[in-house]
Structures are given as C-alpha cells and as structure tokens.
Amino acid sequence: QVQLVESGGGLVQAGGSLRLSCAASGRAFSTYAMAWFRQAPGKEREFVAAINLGIRTYTADSVKGRFTISRDNAKNTVYLQMNSLKPEDTAIYHCAANRWYTDSTEFRDYNYWGQGTQVTVSS
C-alpha cells in the first residue's frame, strides 16, 4: 500500500510556472506507475501525465510541450513541472499510483490517490 501527498500548487499568472511534487510513503515506490490527473469545477477528471516503472512518459495533448512528469525513486517522489501555464490549466491536481497497469492513462486503473493540490492560473 502507498500513501500520496501532493504539494506545490498555488496561484500563478498566465505564462508562469509551477512544480508539483507528490511524496509517497510505503514500500516499493519504484514498482508503482505514477500519474497526474486534474479536475476543474464542473468538469470530469482529466489525465495529465504518467510515468511507468522506467523512464517512459505519457502526456495529454492539451499539455504536451508545456508539462513534464518525472520521478525520483530514491526520494519516493514524482514531479510535474508545469510551464507556460494557461487559465484553462486551473484545477485540482491529483497524484495517483498503481502497480498493475504500468502504462495506463486511465484513471480507473489507478487505485491510490492523493488529496490533491489546487492550481489557479490568472489571466
């Protein structure tokens, strides 16, 4: 089992940057695929980025070229670097983990979730 805690959210102007972190507790962090999803008010949860057990990453078209996911297994942490932020990136960002579907971009395949961190981008 793994517990996830996100940090790094906040208020930023359009064009700015933020780096989200997700710290995982529990064992065997390196055996979990990790992902970021986001949910804006009145909208469905949306895939943002994922990283498998190695270095392969997946990124949603809406953030491609602006957001980068990475992981540091020594620190049990996954990151989301967000550049060139837009007002439409405003949402609660959730970190997620799963041990079985290591290349999934589907939220239903992830069984561990953090509480989320708010990102607000002003125009």
**pLDDT for 72-116, tens place per residue?**
999 999 999 999 999 999 999 999 999 988 899 999 999 999 999
Mean pLDDT across the stretch 24-44? 94
Number of C-alpha atoms within 13 angstroms, CB side, residue 27? 0
Using an 8 Å Cβ cutoff, are 20 and 69 in contact?
no
Lowest pLDDT segment from 26-30, 44-48, 104-108: 26-30
